[in-house]
């Protein structure tokens, strides 16, 4: 199985592909410019999950503040699984985490010790669906969280987070819909964006930051 990941070649090819879909996509891409999606290749899958959970459902500045306070409790580094499991939950809470997020972080650490979370070498050989099935088995880690890992850590090319509010709002604005599209509508629309749904998602996240022509 050949797994395609983000590269300058694939970005160029995907932008050309999406631009040819219709005038809406062509106009959007011209306004936004070339895709500059960056991946966090310096983090392990376990570390990437910890960071994604930290940022989940928070504004970037607030999440970064919590994340930095969390790191400061472990000498500025993300803790190893057993180190996190042995940490005082009260101290973790002082970083700014909700109780629910603390429980999820601890489950991620436990899953890592049980080899549920693959190593970087292992995950590179797993399909998108295999990764989603494996990681979403961890309580508190939903499909959206795994999709963020697939996009921003692994650079997988064909991921469409249909439950993401930013993408729903982006598609609503792009197509001038009266209401937010339901996930199943996005899933159907995304069929024509294959095999570059990650790049399509990146552009949809940016729709509301530009002015779409009538």
Question: Which contacts (CB < 8 Å, 24+ apart) does range 146-152 have?
Answer: 148/52, 149/45, 149/48, 149/49, 149/52, 150/198, 151/37, 151/39, 151/198, 151/201, 152/37, 152/38, 152/39, 152/40, 152/48, 152/52
DSSP 193: G
Torsion of Cα atoms, 107 then 49 then 98 then 167, to 10°? -130
* Separation CA 181–CA 169 (nearest Å): 8
164 is known as an active-site residue: yes
Residue tagged active-site, from 163, 164, 178, 214? 164
Q: Which residues are catalytic?
A: 164
């Amino acid at each position: 199985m050949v797994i395609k990941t983000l590269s300058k070649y694939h970005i160029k090819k995907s932008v050309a592909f999406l631009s040819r879909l219709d005038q809406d996509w062509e106009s959007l891409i011209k306004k936004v410019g070339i895709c500059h999606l960056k991946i966090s290749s310096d983090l392990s899958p376990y570390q990437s999950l910890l960071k994604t959970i930290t940022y989940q459902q928070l504004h970037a500045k607030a999440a970064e503040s919590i994340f930095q306070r969390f790191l400061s409790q472990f000498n500025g580094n993300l803790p190893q699984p057993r180190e996190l499991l042995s940490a005082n939950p009260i101290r973790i809470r002082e970083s700014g985490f909700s109780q629910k997020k603390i429980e999820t972080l601890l489950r991620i650490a436990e899953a890592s010790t049980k080899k549920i979370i693959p190593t970087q070498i292992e995950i590179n050989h797993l399909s998108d669906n295999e990764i989603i099935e494996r990681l979403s088995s961890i309580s508190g880690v939903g499909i959206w969280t795994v999709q963020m890992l697939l996009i921003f850590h692994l650079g997988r090319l064909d991921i469409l987070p249909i439950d993401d509010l930013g993408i729903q709002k982006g598609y609503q604005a792009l197509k001038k819909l009266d209401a937010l599209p339901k996930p199943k509508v996005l899933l159907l629309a995304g069929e024509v964006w294959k095999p570059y749904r990650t790049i399509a998602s990146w552009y949809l996240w940016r729709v509301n930051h530009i002015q779409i022509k009538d």
